[in-house]
Structure 1
Amino acid sequence: MENQQEGPVRRERGARRRRVLIASVAGCAVLGGVLVLLPWERSAEPAPPSPGALAMAAVGSGVPAALPGLAELIEEREEAVRTRPEDATSWAVLGAAYVERGRRLADPAYYPRAEKALRTSLSVRPRHNTPALAGLAALSNARRDFPAARRWGEAALKLEPRRWTTYPLLIDAYTGLGAYKAAKRTLDRLTGLHSGPAVLARAAAVYRDRGWREDAAASLADAAAGARAPAERAAYLERAGQLAFERGDLDVALRHFREAVRLDPDQRAAQAGQGRTLAALGRTTEALTAYLAALAEQPSPQYALELGELYESLGMPEAARVRYGLLRERVRRAAAGGADEELVLGRFEADHGDPKAAVRRLRAEWKRQPGTEVADALGWALYRAGKPEEALRFALSATGVEPGGGVCDAAAMYHRGMIEQKLNRHGAARRHLTEALRINPHFSPLHAPTARAAAEALGEPPDEGVPEMGDEAS
């Protein structure tokens, strides 16, 4: 009986095996057919974009571009305009790439080339050429010629009001001119048109100028998280590092600066930021190394001033003088390239040169573009030149709630406190010197110790006591 039952079972198992085998063979045949067809039916994986293409996308959308990509883009566009001199678009792209490369290298020699390319684009296509107008606005901002930046930016915006990349250029121009309400209105229009990392980074700058530092830090964190390219993310991290340093949050600042350099080794502003932060942490050998590395590749007058003051604070006057000489040379080169470095030169002259010359330079700068930074520098130069009464007016402008909105800058508070001390306004001086040290007790290796000494000399505020009832009635 068992054998009788086993026969059908075996037959069923054999049938099942044959069905599986047939299906397997059929499956292999189908799979083989698919494998044969795949190379013909599926296109090859697209090649990753070249550095030049990435730079083209960055320049076109107003975000930071990597230096190797800029070099490739410039070479491509130079060849394009040689073969097609009537190509207005290529001229405009070439001009914008020159601006960005000059800005990143602190090399104003690129700016005349940029102007020539952008004006050639306009001559080829004099009407409806928004890219060339926007490029001239970017060039003017890079040169610190904010009146021209406003003119070019407003002309570009008139042609294409919905072209969002024009708005950041105008925000920079309005900020440089001290038109902070216009900058905020422009930001509101920008955020209504577009979103993304570039907009968040621009918003952070406006928030910082209005004293909204937590909002600025949050916007920069979001911008860095959303950035697509390493160079873009590095630029936003560098700005976040600046903001953290201004708040006196040195560990956070150093972390941001280091990550920025890791992502983009050409991020020299972050290297200088490392120098600034390491000096504040007392790690002077590392600070000097970082500053020297930054200056070797991006000889910015501002970095030269900072390094010179660091040397001076360390009792190394000869090394400081070398850096101050570099500062003067770079300012002369900037002027030859049409760039304005009067602000940093005025700051240098006020503390290390001729304060009266600083006043003359900064008065002219204030008349042309009266921003908060210029007000602070002019006030300090007037104080150093022996005019504290007039100096106070500019110090109040630099540190008041209006026009900027309440930027909390330790150096500006220190300047105001020292001016007030000179005028025997001891209560106000004590308050603002203390505020400077509260914001950032390491704001300058040269001036922070002076601020502490001045605050200690003023002592604690007098204890007025509680008035007696009879005194209050009388």
Structure 2
Amino acid sequence: MKALARRGVLLGISAAVLAVGASAVGGVISGVPGSGAERAAPTPLTAIDRYQATLRESPADSRTWTSLGFAYLERARASHEPGFYPRSEGAFGTALRLDPEAFNAMIGMGALANARHEFARAVGWARRAQRISSETPALYGVLADAHTQLGDAAAAGAAARRMAELEPGVSSFTRLSYDAERRGDRAGARELLQQALGAAYTPAERAFCRYYLGELAFHAGDLGEAGRQYDLGLDADPTAVAPLQGRAKTAALRGDLTGALRAYRTLTGRVPVPQYLLEYAELLTASGDGAGADAQLGVLAALRKVQSANGVADDLTWSELAAATGDPAGALRYARAEWDRRRGPIVADALAWALHLNGRDSEALPYARIATASGWHNALFRYHRSRVEAALGDDGAARRSLARAKADNPRFDPRLSALGRIA
């Protein structure tokens, strides 16, 4: 799984809510990207009740239908409950039927499409909104997130820069940081996250920024700095979930398997999302608890039905699950399905690894090269490439790729590869 269930996807919901909220949602629905916390009262659920009451009196109010759509979308993000996605879609759709020029409902549809991993559809909605108005920051947040996942780094970077021009702040700076990180500019990514931290004014925003500063350190092998940033994140917002995951995986790589397992048990009890379940299962396997690992993977498999029923397309996760459970044919089938939808380095790596697991290394190598082409300091991608090269008998290339993996992250452990994944 990818860090925090893929950073850009979570950003896509909250940035739209943040930027559109002031004009379309009346400032009621707002949040911090990926934080799981809302910025202002009333909470999204209270807002849902209020908007529903308004619509019972004025069912033809397009603006309130749009507000309700964002409230459902934020509730889905904060609660990790995909059952709110169809409700959000219905609300935005009603707004657009009432007013075909409902610009903010189009942005909402784009954010919803990103949340469901329908990235090409998200671009379509954003472009439709852009024809009406091109000055709303959330529009470019939707575009940046969608283009990132589709593998169009140039378009993603341009959208993030335009967003920052319109509204410099946490949402735009974190996107620019992610763009820099994927280009291999760790120093630039860190500087932009520090700017985001300086612009943060709520506990949840500060915790979010601290978590990703921790992530940069963690994936560079600096566990001391990573742990410090995760701790500062929890100091900023004791209710934040992501820094708990950071603490848990840092404990694992420090060799404190007992502490890591205890932390993951608590974490997955609070937030049973695919990323955390896969990491927990991997640690349970490493500890010799195969039955416990199978139980977590069983929960993860069950989540697929829930997500699919609510319109979430995530074959990447299921490719990773199949690879982890000894189903190479399934890993390849799902990876190919994801590649048909989007062609970024994360999916290229998954497809390369699935092909390798099926003994098709000559086919895997071009995808491994795509995954490592951007300069991204991603030890897992380099490790996978080294395995493909070794299988093809190119020992020199394999040694170079493995050396690059170690240089990118000296603490990377192939036995705990889920902990090495970066979104």
Aligned residue-pair number? 393
Per-residue CA deviations over 1:127-159 (Å, capped at 9, x if unaligned) read 2x1111111111111111101111111111221
1:398 to 366, 371, 383: 371
Name the larger-Rg structure.
Answer: 1
Equivalent residue number for residue 392 of structure 2: 423
Q: TM-score, normalised by structure 1?
A: 0.78
1:343, 1:448 → 2: CA distance? 15
State the secondary structure of the residue aligned to 2:107. helix
Q: TM-score, normalised by structure 2?
A: 0.87
Equivalent residue number for residue 356 of structure 2: 383
Letter in 1 for 2:311: G
Q: CA deviation at 1:427?
A: 1.0
Contact 2:28 2:47 in 1 (8 A): no
Equivalent residue number for residue 41 of structure 1: none
1:439 to 408, 411, 419: 408
Instruction: Assess, with a 3 A threshold, how the Cα gap between structure 1 residues 347 and 230 changes in structure 2: closer, same or farther.
Output: same
1:56, 1:294 → 2: CA distance? 34
Equivalent residue number for residue 141 of structure 1: 114
Q: 2:132 aligned with 1:167, yes or no?
A: no
Q: 2:181 aligned with 1:208, yes or no?
A: yes
Equivalent residue number for residue 98 of structure 1: 72
Contact 2:233 2:243 in 1 (8 A): yes
Contact 2:75 2:84 in 1 (8 A): yes
Contact 1:304 1:324 in 2 (8 A): yes
Percent of residue pairs bearing the same amino acid type: 36
2:73, 2:344 → 1: CA distance? 23
2:417, 2:189 → 1: CA distance? 25
Q: 2:318 aligned with 1:345, yes or no?
A: yes
Q: CA deviation at 1:271?
A: 1.9
Contact 1:241 1:256 in 2 (8 A): yes
Equivalent residue number for residue 238 of structure 1: 211
1:161, 1:61 → 2: CA distance? 23
Q: 5+ unaligned residues in a row in structure 1: which ranges?
A: 1-51, 452-474
Letter in 1 for 2:37: A
Instruction: Assess, with a 3 A threshold, how the Cα gap between structure 1 residues 158 and 292 changes in structure 2: closer, same or farther.
Output: farther
1:269, 1:208 → 2: CA distance? 19
Instruction: Assess, with a 3 A threshold, how the Cα gap between structure 1 residues 180 and 62 changes in structure 2: closer, same or farther.
Output: same
Q: CA deviation at 1:323?
A: 0.9
2:26, 2:232 → 1: CA distance? 24
Q: CA deviation at 1:447?
A: 4.6
Alignment of 1:350-389 (within 5 A): 350-389=323-362
1:448, 1:365 → 2: CA distance? 20
Letter in 1 for 2:157: K
The higher relative CO (CA closer than 8 Å, separation ≥ 6) is in 2
2:108, 2:119 → 1: CA distance? 14
Q: 2:92 aligned with 1:123, yes or no?
A: no
Equivalent residue number for residue 377 of structure 2: 408
Query: RMSD value over aligned CA atoms?
Result: 2.3
Contact 1:56 1:73 in 2 (8 A): no
Instruction: Assess, with a 3 A threshold, how the Cα gap between structure 1 residues 250 and 396 changes in structure 2: closer, same or farther.
Output: same
Contact 1:442 1:448 in 2 (8 A): no
Instruction: Assess, with a 3 A threshold, how the Cα gap between structure 1 residues 124 and 268 changes in structure 2: closer, same or farther.
Output: same
1:56, 1:251 → 2: CA distance? 42
Q: CA deviation at 1:327?
A: 1.0
Q: CA deviation at 1:206?
A: 1.1
- Report which stretch shifted further, 97-106 or 205-214: 97-106
